[in-house]
Amino acid sequence: DQQVKQNSPSLSVQEGRISILNCDYTNSMFDYFLWYKKYPAEGPTFLISISSIKDKNEDGRFTVFLNKSAKHLSLHIVPSQPGDSAVYFCAGTLITGNQFYFGTGTSLTVIP
């Protein structure tokens, strides 16, 4: 069962504009959410996270928003840069952190 879903396989954005990547989840018991970025031939790299008790977390150009009632989170990248071109995965976990559930990823292309 796919507990975390990323319904947009790909996204193209002009450099300097905002990139918005979306993620939906089904398990209301998830306590923590994370976003990872992945370049080809490399393992995923942690980007930003958010606890279920918050609705927003910001780190530089990256902001994650959490809407618990809608079971939805989004990652905003402002301004987008060509180096941001990668596959982005969202993941959720229970409070134990024993198991993480990943979405299928969104491939972001930032056009110079």
Nearest distance from C-beta of residue 15 to other proteins, angstroms: 26
Subset of 46-75 contacting other proteins (CB under 8 A): 46, 49
* Residue from 24, 30, 84, 103 binding other proteins (CB under 8 A): 103
Instruction: Report the residue from 84, 93, 108, 110 that binds other proteins according to the rule CB under 8 A.
Output: 93
**Following DSSP, what letter does each residue of the chain receive, concatenated?**
---EE---SEEEEETTS-EEEEEEE--TT--EEEEEEE-TTS--EEEEEEETT-SEEEETTEEEEEETTTTEEEEEESS--GGG-EEEEEEEE-TT-S-EEE---EEEEEE-
Residues that bind other proteins in the complex, under the rule CB under 8 A: 4, 6, 9, 32, 34, 36, 41-46, 49, 89, 91, 93, 97-105
